[in-house]
Structure 1
């Protein structure tokens, strides 16, 4: 592997981001890692190596702050090769009960933060005519589950953003992958994600059952974040990485099932679909 590459990883103080940063540093890469709390990041990583590790305190919803972190990375490492938009969190609950400010907050973190990072790093990658962007989505962005409507909407937006971004950047030699995992043991189910778990509305049994299933499975998810991190490093060395990469058996099964259902429905309603055009 080309360990001279410089990685820029957001949301690096915990979960998958932290594991990835540790794995990258152990493999000899240079890493700029962002967090809202740089001291927490340093303590979590446990490696203070100014030659290869640059911890950055960054507000990902502040373009000036992101720009400053990019400039710091360039000053220390001279380039950026791989961008991992990992910052994000989950949220479950009925749509009626989730407060407007919480909906806006999760879109800010899960969608607009990634867009902001791309906006600020793209000029550099275009000038290099090389680079790789990994956006961490979720299988929920394609196959949602009851109670995850808002979260799924953020990840669907990130997937669509990634798809068109890949088309826009192809001519510059810049690749894009949206990684869409199922359940991984990363501490994903946080206080924020569980704030609306207990619905007070009559009915919505599917939502309540799904929330209980996720809570009961917390800490025993089948996905291994160490293996996921290794896959990311392999992707960065590929000359043709995939646009979509679903991680985990559950993700594969859910996507395969939905694709079949969609194909069947598309053909069933084909006559109606094409009937909407002007008749020649």
Structure 2
């Protein structure tokens, strides 16, 4: 998968399907319908001058409507506009989950929507599987390769993300591999976890998170991980940071933090939102003036 010339946004977004323009069905470049929601900043006076939008990418078995995703969105909405969406195979989105592979296209559609709504600065924040997706997305969709309404991110934060594929070193990951790879497991995923999982194996194997990280610079990167993560031990974030550009990357190892959005406390989410606001790209005053007089 490569970024390539991006399709016009009109092919990637179906107009709002609810009143108020807060819900949309986004169409990915491979034709999957993705449910998405937009929330303006709840405290406009606290919003960054450039109108930052945060696009949240949930973990495996999450969805737009799950309580942990809504809680995270509410925290980020205190500092920026927020877009949440359900990855393919999750919630009311179409398709089947490929557990981090084609999900990059889902995230790209959500980022394009943020830019179509007028947000010039976009931060992607991903949790667990979503963390691997935001890393690969940042590597594959580069600003210099984008058109007028690009799918690139300006800042990327990966929370509780794996560094490498096929990891089975913890009981939690061994259970997850059973769910993904076995017919009985996929039945449990569909019925019990409300997640529809693709039965085919990856072919080819997608770019791994640790291989993606060196391609992200100069985009600012934040890696956040807990020392009590039951899925991925701390060698995963350390491996990611070892591959990253130290001049544009940060690692937060959080004491007592477990895994992803379900365990992330509000204070940590607030710190991530502040980090994104602090890393807004610098722009010349003349560019700011031009943008205010010519929104196109």
Q: How high is the TM-score relative to the length of structure 2? A: 0.39
Q: Which has the larger radius of gyration?
A: 1
Higher helix share: 1
Q: How high is the TM-score relative to the length of structure 1? A: 0.41
